[in-house]
Amino acid sequence: MDAKKYYFDYTANTPLDPQVRQTLAEFYADHYGNSAGIHRFARDMKTHLDEARAYFARFIGAKSSEIVFTASATESNNTVLKGLVRHYPDKKHILISAIEHASVYNTARVLRASEFEVEEIPVNTEGSVRPEEVKNRIRPDTLLVSVMWVNNELGSITPIGEIGKICREQGALFHCDAVQGFAKMPLNVHKMSIDFLTASAHKIYGPIGVGLLFIREGLKLEPLLHGGGHENGLRSSTVNVPGIVGFRKAIEIYERNHQKEWQRVSEFRQQLLSFIQNEIDGSRINSPANGIPHIINCSFDKVNGELLAIALDKQGIAVSTGSACSSGKIIKSRVLGAIDVPMNFQAGTIRISLGRYTTQEETDYLKEQLKQAVNKVRKIS
């Protein structure tokens, strides 16, 4: 018999909701036209695509014509940053927060290497961008401000509505990477003065490989992909209608359950926070108290976070490390540095993330194993 598996990595990828799985299976069985064609199979696909587009538009307070489907949030973020500077080459100043996801941060680095001035907006010790910090940095030549809603390492929330308002008043465009807040908290792009917004299906129990991009009416982007002119010329490639239908189903489930789910996850988070703080020596919680309940970022003094994640994995528990590991080298997390986590804690960081299927039994098992693993790894670190 397989050993039991305990999943605490919902922020990286969520399991497919069984109702989404069923929707996908049924849809794939009966629909196979290319939505760009003219025959009835194609028209059938196009109808589902149009309905889904209208559904997403209503969900975020936009118009259908403002919704573009992509293959990932990484693609959506790249499209905004690269597509915008190609269209508006005269404004050279771009502001991004210091804790953006790599798909914004590294894209901005590419722009920096090609004559754009990219400036980082610092965050406070809770991992949020203060609106005044944005206000003080916008200049007449600021093209774009890109600030994420919820940080994927910490769960910290930034008041994006206030930032949107400042950008609108001061004449800068505002992009929000909403991946980790999307279908967790209510959102209205027009009320929040958002010009571009990014989301992804696989963080909300939908399929991998479907991204969303909102582009406010009237704004122009150069496409990343050229070809048959799908998605109003913005994203050529056969449209992944089954994936989009699955994404829509994931939102419908969220709309029915979100309050109960938020509360359940909050209760488990609270239990874990008190356990880590009170029962494990040399621990530190890096996530802010007012962050989303799904993410707990914590560090342990004199512990190697990679070894800790491996020790937990041996016991069937999946968590993420706080520092990304690439080609065997541990790279320090920009985010932990940005919120001033002391050096002795940074290397001993893990991210525990919770979600729809987290149970009391799993939470209890994690507590027990985490304490043992920290003590064991501390001896050898």
Ligand X SMILES: Cc1ncc(COP(=O)(O)O)c(C=O)c1O
148 binds ligand X (CB under 6 A): yes
In 3D space, the residue among 3, 18, 1, 12 whose CA is nearest the CA of residue 357 turns out to be 18
The answer to whether 74 and 202 are in contact (CB under 8 A) is no
299 binds ligand X (CB under 6 A): no
Q: Return the range that interacts with ligand X (CB under 6 A); candidates 138-146, 172-180, 263-271, 316-324.
A: 172-180
User: Which residue spans within the chain are E strands per DSSP?
Assistant: 6-7, 67-70, 93-97, 117-121, 142-146, 173-177, 196-200, 211-215, 283-285, 295-300, 317-318, 320-321, 325-326, 329-330, 349-353
The answer to whether 70 and 61 are in contact (CB under 8 A) is no
348 binds ligand X (CB under 6 A): no
Q: Return the range that interacts with ligand X (CB under 6 A); candidates 30-38, 70-78, 237-245, 267-275.
A: 70-78
Cα–Cα distances (Å) from 246 to 48, 92, 240, in that order, read: 11, 39, 10
333 binds ligand X (CB under 6 A): no
DSSP H helical ranges for 207-329 = 241-279, 305-314
3-state class of 96 per DSSP? strand
97 binds ligand X (CB under 6 A): no
Closest separation in Å from C-beta 183 to ligand X:
13
In whole angstroms, what separates CA 140 from the centre of its chain? 30
Q: Return the range that interacts with ligand X (CB under 6 A); candidates 14-22, 33-41, 173-181, 329-337.
A: 173-181
Closest separation in Å from C-beta 210 to ligand X:
8
**Cα(287)–Cα(364) distance, integer angstroms:** 20
Q: Which is nearer to ligand X, 295 or 374 (CB)?
A: 295
**Cα(32)–Cα(256) distance, integer angstroms:** 29
Ramachandran area for residue 372 (φ above 0: left; ψ -120 to 50: alpha; else beta): alpha
73 binds ligand X (CB under 6 A): yes
| Residues 152 to 171 in contact with ligand X, rule: CB under 6 A | 152
Q: Which residues pair with 94 in a beta bridge?
A: 118, 144
Question: Phi and psi for 357 in degrees, rounded to 5?
Answer: -105, 5
Closest separation in Å from C-beta 41 to ligand X:
29
Structure tokens at 334: 């920009």
Q: Which is nearer to ligand X, 72 or 346 (CB)?
A: 72
Q: Which is nearer to ligand X, 17 or 177 (CB)?
A: 177
Q: Which is nearer to ligand X, 120 or 301 (CB)?
A: 120
| CB-based contacts of 15, cutoff 8 Å, min separation 6 | 7, 205, 357
The answer to whether 299 and 283 are in contact (CB under 8 A) is yes
Q: Return the range that interacts with ligand X (CB under 6 A); candidates 69-77, 85-93, 120-128, 307-315.
A: 69-77
14, 23, 35, 74: which one binds ligand X (CB under 6 A): 74
200 binds ligand X (CB under 6 A): yes
Q: Which is nearer to ligand X, 74 or 193 (CB)?
A: 74
Query: Side chain identity at 35, as an amino acid letter?
Result: S
Q: Which is nearer to ligand X, 46 or 294 (CB)?
A: 294
72 binds ligand X (CB under 6 A): yes
103, 107, 287, 346: which one binds ligand X (CB under 6 A): 103
The number of residues that bind ligand X (CB under 6 A) is 12
Residue 325 bears catalytic tag: yes
Q: How many residues does this entry show for the chain?
A: 381
Strands 317-318 and 6-7: parallel
35, 180, 287, 323: which one binds ligand X (CB under 6 A): 180
Closest separation in Å from C-beta 82 to ligand X:
15
Q: Which is nearer to ligand X, 160 or 280 (CB)?
A: 160
Closest separation in Å from C-beta 32 to ligand X:
25
Torsion of CA 81, 79, 199, 117, to 10 degrees: -10
24, 80, 84, 179: which one binds ligand X (CB under 6 A): 179
83, 211, 223, 243: which one binds ligand X (CB under 6 A): 211
Q: Which is nearer to ligand X, 9 or 362 (CB)?
A: 9
Closest separation in Å from C-beta 4 to ligand X:
26
Interface contacts to ligand X, rule CB under 6 A: 72-74, 101, 103, 148, 152, 177, 179-180, 200, 211
Residues assigned a catalytic role? 325
